[in-house]
Structure 1
Amino acid sequence: MFLSIGEVLIDMITQSNSLENATVFQKFFGGSPSNIAINIARQGIESYILSTVGKDPFGKYIKDYLNEKNVKIDYLSEREDVYTDIVFVNKSESTPEFKAYRSASLKLSIPQDLNINKFKIIHISSWAISETKQLEKILNLVELAKEKGIKIGFDPNYRKVLWKNNYTIIEVLEKLGPYIDFIKPSLDDANNIFGERSLEDYVKYFKNFGIKNILFTLGKDGVLVYNKKYEIHLSTYATKVVDVTGAGDAVWSGFYTGIINDLEILESTKLGLAFAAEKLKYLGAIAPLSDWRKIREKYR
Structure 2
Amino acid sequence: MFLSIGEVLIDMITESDSLYNATVFQKFFGGSPANIAINVARQGIESHLLSTIGKDPFGKFIEDFLLKNNVKIDYLVEREDIYTDIVFVNKSKKTPEFKAYRNASLKLEIPDNLDLEKIRIIHISSWAVSETKQFEKIYELVKEAKKKNILIGFDPNYRKILWNNKYSIIDVLKVLGPYIDISKPSFDDAENIFGKDTIKNYIKYFEENGIKNIIFTLGKDGALIHNKKYEENIPTFATKVIDVTGAGDAVWSGIYTGLLNDLNIIESTKLGLAFAAEKLKYIGAITPIEHWEILKDKYEI
TM over 0.5, shorter chain: yes
Map 1:197-276; keep pairs closer than 5 Å: 197-276=197-276
Which residue of the partner structure matches residue 277 of structure 1?
A: 277
**Structure 1, gaps ≥5 residues long:** none
- The amino acid across from 2:79 in the alignment is R
Distance 1:142 1:266 in 2: 25
Amino acid at match of 2:13: I
Distance 1:86 1:281 in 2: 24
Q: Which moved more, 1:289-298 or 1:102-111?
A: 289-298
SS of structure 2 residue aligned to 1:128: helix
Report the 3-state secondary structure (helix = DSSP H, G, I; strand = E; otherwise coil) of the residue aligned with 1:268. helix
Cα distance between partner residues in 1 of 2:279 and 2:262? 23
Q: Which runs of 5+ in 2 are unaligned?
A: none
Amino acid at match of 1:264: N
Question: CA 1:93 to 1:261, structure 2 compared with 1: closer, same or farther past 3 Å?
Answer: closer
Instruction: Give, in angstroms, the shift of residue 280 of structure 1.
Output: 1.6
| Partner Cα distance (1:286, 1:101) in 2 | 21
Which residue pairs with 2:128 in the alignment?
A: 128
- Aligned to 2:13, what secondary structure does the other structure show? strand
What is the number of equivalent residue pairs in this alignment?
300
Distance 1:22 1:276 in 2: 27
| Residue identity matched to 1:68 | K
The Cα shift of 1:20 comes to 2.9
Query: Over aligned residue pairs, what C-alpha RMSD do you find?
Result: 1.0
What SS is found at the alignment partner of 1:11? strand
2:144 equivalent to 1:144: yes
- What is the distance in 2 between the residues matched to 1:164 and 1:250? 27
TM-score (norm 2): 0.98
Distance 1:240 1:114 in 2: 40
Q: Percent identity?
A: 72
1:48-197 matched pairs, under 5 angstroms: 48-197=48-197
In 1, are the aligned partners of 2:129 and 2:135 still within 8 Å (CA)? Answer: yes
Residues 12 and 28 of structure 2 are in contact (CA less than 8 Å); yes or no, is this contact kept in structure 1? yes
Q: Which string of whole-angstrom CA distances, capped at 9 and with x for unpartnered residues, describes residues 207-265 of structure 1?
A: 00000000000000010000111011011111222222211111111110111111111
Q: How much does 1:92 deviate?
A: 2.8
Taking the aligned partners of 1:244 and 1:21, their CA distance within structure 2 comes to 20
Residues 61-113 of structure 1 deviation map (CA, whole Å, 9 limit, x = unaligned): 00000000110011000001110001112223332221111000000000001
State the one-letter code of the partner of 1:148.
K
1:18 Cα shift? Answer: 3.0
SS of equivalent residue, structure 2 residue 215 = strand
Whole-angstrom CA distance in 2 between matches of 1:197 and 1:225 = 18
Partner Cα distance (1:280, 1:11) in 2: 17
Report the secondary structure of 2:170's partner residue.
helix
Measure how far apart 1:127 and its partner are: 0.3
Please give the alpha-carbon distance, in whole angstroms, between the structure 2 residues aligned to 1:229 and 1:163.
Answer: 34
1:282 to partner: Cα distance: 2.0
Residue type at the aligned position of 2:105: S
